[in-house]
């Protein structure tokens, strides 16, 4: 593996809600993603969901509360917990999930795995 510059990786694509895998770690994908607007409500039964905001402000709606993350702030959505990320303005993220996790919680609607 090489050193990964997160900003440089994020500069290589523009699509929202299409995470790119930039490395692997203990059976997990290390991904960068750009988000804008509301995503869908979903849960991952087999993995916690790691969010670290690099740019912008991300709201994560949970069924019982809402959290808000700015740059340099991280949050872990526990496995099985329904959540909906919402980005009022474009957000850049480091995202970590088990390799093979569908980003929508459903393989039928998930973004394809793309390694960059």
Residue 3 in the binding site for its own copies (CB under 8 A)? yes
Residue 47 in the binding site for its own copies (CB under 8 A)? yes
Residue 15 · residue 2 · CB < 8 Å: no
Q: How many angstroms separate the CA atoms of 66 and 56, rounded? A: 17
Q: What is the DSSP letter of 112?
A: P
Residue (of 11, 45, 37, 25) closest to 99 by Cα position: 25
Residue 93 in the binding site for its own copies (CB under 8 A)? no
Q: What are 13's two structure tokens?
A: 């694509």
Residue 1 in the binding site for its own copies (CB under 8 A)? yes
Q: How many angstroms separate the CA atoms of 49 and 41, rounded? A: 14
Residue 52 in the binding site for its own copies (CB under 8 A)? yes
According to CB under 8 A, which one of 31, 35, 69, 87 is a site residue for its own copies? 69
According to CB under 8 A, which one of 13, 17, 41, 75 is a site residue for its own copies? 75
Distances from the Cα of 49 to the Cα of 13, 22, 46, 85, 110, angstroms: 22, 16, 10, 11, 15
Window 5-34: residues binding its own copies (CB under 8 A): 5-7, 22-26, 28, 30
Query: Nearest approach, Cβ of 23 to its own copies (angstroms)?
Result: 6
> Which residues of the shown chain bind its own copies in the complex (CB under 8 A)?
1-7, 22-26, 28, 30, 47-48, 50, 52, 54, 67-69, 72-76, 78-79, 94, 96, 98
């Amino acid at each position: 593996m090489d050193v990964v510059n997160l900003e440089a990786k994020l500069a290589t694509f523009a699509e929202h809600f299409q995470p790119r895998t930039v490395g692997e770690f203990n059976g997990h994908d290390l991904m960068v993603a750009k988000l804008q607007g509301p995503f869908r409500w979903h849960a991952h039964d087999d993995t916690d969901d790691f969010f670290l905001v690099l740019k912008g402000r991300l709201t994560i709606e949970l069924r019982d509360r809402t959290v808000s993350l700015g740059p340099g702030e991280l949050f872990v959505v526990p496995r099985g917990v329904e959540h909906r990320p919402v980005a009022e303005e474009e957000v850049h993220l480091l995202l970590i999930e088990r390799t093979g996790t569908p980003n929508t919680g459903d393989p039928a609607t998930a973004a394809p795995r793309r390694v960059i």
